[in-house]
Amino acid sequence: MIDYNKYIDMAMPVAKSIALALLALIIGLMLIKWIIGKLRKYVDRSSMDPTLKPFILSLTDISLKILLAISIISLLGIDTNSLVAVIAAAGFAVGLALKEYLANFAGGVILLTLRPFKVGDVIEANGYSGTVEAIQILYTRVATFDNKVVLIPNGVLSNSSITNFTLKDTRRVDLSFTAAYEADTDKVIKVLKDMVNNHPRVLAEPEPFVRMSEHADSAVIYSVKAWVKTDDYWSVYFDLIEAAKRRFDEENISIPYPQRDVYVYQK
């Protein structure tokens, strides 16, 4: 005759451990969600650099979930000491397989330490240009100028050239304008200088630069370099281009058409 009580007595500790583990999992996930919610509110209200906020939240969330997993394993009666050894051995193998992810994590730490850019900066890196929205554990999120979201691996960013367009308070607008060889050089330079100096957003210091810079095949090229506040860069850039056309028309300064290749049809 089968002694069911014996099997019930054997199964009870296992069932109890599983029940406790499930209860711990549910409570643990709810507690982590609560902690992250409270931390997010604290971080949002704090004067902490916006660059650090998403990184701290992500790192805290992952760390708490790892601790929860170890606690649940312990509740199931598995020896955590031997588990640590197994994890260490498996971690080496996994580390080789996930070396790019580890490189991205290390890259995130480097970016937050060296601070080549922060949230809100406009950068160009890895072939993309846009505004930095967040520096996360593995990726940096960049919103392009046409409102696309690009996730650039932190490992790539930490090992490549980065152009930060907004790090400095001022930038230089560099433009080139063409005029016919017949145009009076002094007159062209005077018109361009007046145009630049009369723009309200062009800075007086450093002094704007206007000079002839090249003798091209069909025109003379004049270089204009003007310093502006970084936030005014594109406004001044387009303003000067439009103003130069109007002023050249008013002063009867000829702007040569660009040369194009002429193809002769042959039978």
Residue 141 pLDDT > 50, yes or no?
yes
Question: What whole-number distance in Å separates Cα of residue 107 and Cα of residue 137?
Answer: 9
pLDDT more than 90, % of the chain:
43
Question: What's residue 58's pLDDT?
Answer: 77
Instruction: Check: CB of residue 213 under 8 Å from CB of residue 224.
Output: no
Q: Report the CATH number at residue 130.
A: 2.30.30.60
Asked, for residue 258, whether it belongs to a domain, the answer is: no
Question: What's residue 128's pLDDT?
Answer: 92
Do 154 and 212 sit in the same domain of this protein? no
Can you tell me the mean pLDDT for 94-111? 72
Can you tell me the mean pLDDT for 22-37? 86
Domain, as residue range, for 43: 4-94
More confidently predicted of 222 and 58:
222
Asked, for residue 185, whether it belongs to a domain, the answer is: yes
Residue 212 pLDDT > 60, yes or no?
yes
Question: What's residue 240's pLDDT?
Answer: 96
Q: Report the CATH number at residue 47.
A: 1.10.287
Do 119 and 180 sit in the same domain of this protein? no
Do 195 and 114 sit in the same domain of this protein? no
Order across the sheet with 209-215: list the strands: 170-179, 220-229, 209-215
Asked, for residue 137, whether it belongs to a domain, the answer is: yes
Domains in the chain, number: 3
Question: What's residue 9's pLDDT?
Answer: 60
Do 218 and 156 sit in the same domain of this protein? no
- Burial of residue 250 (CB within 10 Å: 0-12, 13-18, 19+) is exposed
**Average pLDDT of the chain, as a whole number:** 83
- 232 pLDDT tier (thresholds 50, 70, 90): very high
Asked, for residue 216, whether it belongs to a domain, the answer is: yes
- 32 pLDDT tier (thresholds 50, 70, 90): confident
The identity of residue 145, as a single letter, is: F
Domain end marker among 94, 124, 156 = 94
Asked, for residue 13, whether it belongs to a domain, the answer is: yes
Question: What's residue 10's pLDDT?
Answer: 61
CB atoms within 10 A of CB 99: 11
Question: What's residue 264's pLDDT?
Answer: 45
Do 159 and 179 sit in the same domain of this protein? no
Do 185 and 242 sit in the same domain of this protein? yes
Asked, for residue 103, whether it belongs to a domain, the answer is: no
Instruction: Check: CB of residue 42 under 8 Å from CB of residue 52.
Output: no
Which of the residue ranges 34-43, 91-100, 129-138 would you say has the lowest mean pLDDT? Answer: 91-100
pTM over 0.75: no
Asked, for residue 78, whether it belongs to a domain, the answer is: yes
Asked, for residue 74, whether it belongs to a domain, the answer is: yes
Q: What is the pLDDT of residues 83-95, one digit of tens each?
A: 565 666 555 555 5
Q: Report the CATH number at residue 182.
A: 3.30.70.100
